[in-house]
Structure 1
Amino acid sequence: MLDVLLVVFVGFAGGLAVGTGFVAFLVVLGVIPRLTQLTKTMKRIHAYEWGAVFGALVGGWVSLRHSVFHLSKYWLAPIGLLHGIFVGMLAAALTEVLNVWPILAKRIGVDERIVALLMAIAFGKVVGSLFHWLYFVDHFR
């Protein structure tokens, strides 16, 4: 019984630590307000906030269970597209808040070619993702 209580306590403490870090990340960096500014949807900021809350709750619940969703293969494209949009918007808001690209361009000496730098990064991500899915996913079936 003591072992079970210790596991529950450690799990709860770990969840609190991760949740606090996630909230600090969103609040300190102002990711959600900046995302609403970039998309010009400031009136819907509460929907973004609740979306983050429910997304964290559902993600935590699914990761704690051995969930298997029996969906058709035709759902993969829309679900993958939505995941890509989420990650892309979050990354764009984060880099916008931190001004990463101008600092990186100055450090590597390509101030005047920042568009080329961004396109190289985007194409690199696309090629890397395609290589991963075409080689690793199909190769190990």
Structure 2
Amino acid sequence: MIIKGLAIVFIALSGGLAVGSGFVAFLTVLGIIPRLAQISKTVDKVVWYEAAIILGTIAGIYGSLRDPILGLPAFFLILLGLAGGIFVGMIAGALAEVLNVIPILAKRLNMDGEIIILLMAVVLGKIAGSLFQWLYFIHQ
């Protein structure tokens, strides 16, 4: 029984180290956090971005291991969801900016002068997909 428990701990620790190392390499090599700070003109707040990622990771780990019940009113849950969505959107935007996805896509679609149309299509598609997922899969 002890050997089985130690094997589970070893496998979980190895998997966590592998995923964590990949995540840190992803953020470091692409320079996501500095680019996010540069785009949002908050370079002096880079330490806060890093702290938010660390605390968010720890909270995510705790939430996945313990399945906590927060018992918060719906208003606070809406604010938490909004904050999480904004952060994920900004990270995705910084990643797209670092990799120059939008200009490359615009050139491939022959839309060099109409990047705003391409951006609005991406934004409206994301909104429609989120609403569809929320209304169809969550509230069935």
Q: Scaled by the length of structure 1, what TM-score is found?
A: 0.92
Point out where structure 1 has 5 or more consecutive residues left out of the alignment. Answer: none
Runs (4 or more) in structure 1 with deviation over 6 Å come to none
- Cα drift, residue 111 of structure 1: 1.8
| Structure 1 segment 1-141 matched on structure 2, within 5 A | 1-139=2-140
- Cα drift, residue 30 of structure 1: 0.4
Instruction: Tell me the amino acid that sits aligned with residue 13 of structure 2.
Output: F
- Cα drift, residue 112 of structure 1: 2.0
Output the CA distance in 1 between the equivalents of 2:74 and 2:55.
25
Measured on the aligned residues, the alpha-carbon RMSD in Å equals: 1.2
Instruction: Tell me the amino acid that sits aligned with residue 54 of structure 2.
Output: V
Output the CA distance in 2 between the equivalents of 1:8 and 1:29.
31
Output the CA distance in 2 between the equivalents of 1:74 and 1:46.
29
Residue aligned with 1:104, SS: helix
Residue aligned with 2:68, SS: coil
Output the CA distance in 2 between the equivalents of 1:92 and 1:65.
31
- Cα drift, residue 75 of structure 1: 1.7
Instruction: Tell me the amino acid that sits aligned with residue 75 of structure 1.
Output: F
* Count of aligned pairs: 139
Output the CA distance in 2 between the equivalents of 1:57 and 1:113.
41
Q: Scaled by the length of structure 2, what TM-score is found?
A: 0.93
- Cα drift, residue 123 of structure 1: 0.7
Instruction: Tell me the amino acid that sits aligned with residue 104 of structure 2.
Output: I
